[in-house]
Copies of this chain bind each other. A is one copy, B any other.
Amino acid sequence: MNIAEYLEQQRLDVDQFLDLIAPTAVTPPTTLHESLRYSLLAGGKRIRPILAIAAAEAIGAAAPGLMPVACSLEFIHTYSLIHDDLPSMDNDDFRRGKPTNHKVYGEAMAILAGDALLTMAFDIISRPDLMKGCDPVRQVRLVQELAYGSGNRGMVGGQVFDIQAENKNIDLDTLQTIHKHKTGMLIRAAVRMGAVAAGATERQLDDLTGYAEDIGLAFQIADDVLNVTGTREELGKNPNTDAERGKKTYPTFHGVEGAKKLADDCVSRAINRLSSFGPSADPLREIARYITARKN
């Protein structure tokens, strides 16, 4: 399979559906809706929705409501970016080459846009029109997976660990705890939610959870490596920002080559987790390989 083509096609489908379900900017409160659309539809790789879709494909059974389920993850991811960029958090003025949400709409609206996106993620996966045909038992489980992965024991918890580590001489264990929660838990939720939507068995879910944890780690290590080795053109931003900020990363602990090797090991482990799956899991296998091969 051609993974670049696969990712591009899925990305287009996800973008189209996000545009469809996000409230229009002419529906009141108009500024809120304009603000949340600004961030939600600002591009991005849509890796979490695509992972959910690929996990459902791996199971190979019908998964009613898969697209809303996949997109709910992007609502959560987008809210987390808006709140992380706030002046009291990372205080970032630009994201993906565009001014951050609070720079355009002000802090109050950015906080509320984040709150609205977070709430809408749960709205989407519980709406009868969007989730038609989905077994209610699965649906409740999807809500639980999303809440668990994005809350205090997941993504929000990771953001707290990250803030508390700022300007501190953290060890490798702490670095891993931060990433496991901040990025890992939502990637884990993405894969599990796709699998649950398609009616995975517990055994399949275990294998896919292992896969998700491995690629989550690979993804973060590869990001850290790219920050050192990428060019300005590839990254769309200056390289080496981590080192300049004195931020501890995987290359800090293992060197660039050591970190690359670690990421490759994670990818191999992730692919091995899929040994009981046939060709239906090829998209998941290729996504794992893509993580360390990508240039941005």
B-binding residues in A (CB < 8 A): 23, 28-29, 31-33, 36, 79, 83, 86, 88-89, 106-109, 111-112, 114-116, 118-120, 122-123, 125-128, 131, 136-137, 139-141, 143-144, 146-148, 150-153, 156-157, 159-161, 163-164
Contacts and interface: CB of A to CB of B under 8 A. Distances in A.
Contact of A156 (B28, B32, B83, B163): B32
Given A128-B144, A143-B143, 13 more contacts: A28-B157, A31-B164, A33-B152, A109-B163, A114-B115, A115-B115, A118-B118, A119-B151, A120-B152, A122-B122, A123-B147, A126-B140, A126-B143
A109 B144 contact: no
Given A160-B29, A160-B109, A136 B127 contact: no
B111 A111 contact: yes
Given A33-B152, A126-B143, A88 B114 contact: no
B159 A112 contact: yes
Given A126-B140, A136-B139, A139-B136, A29 B157 contact: yes
25 contacts: A28-B157, A28-B161, A29-B152, A32-B152, A32-B156, A33-B152, A36-B152, A88-B111, A89-B108, A111-B111, A115-B115, A116-B151, A116-B156, A116-B157, A118-B118, A119-B156, A120-B147, A120-B152, A126-B141, A127-B144, A128-B144, A131-B140, A136-B136, A136-B140, A143-B143
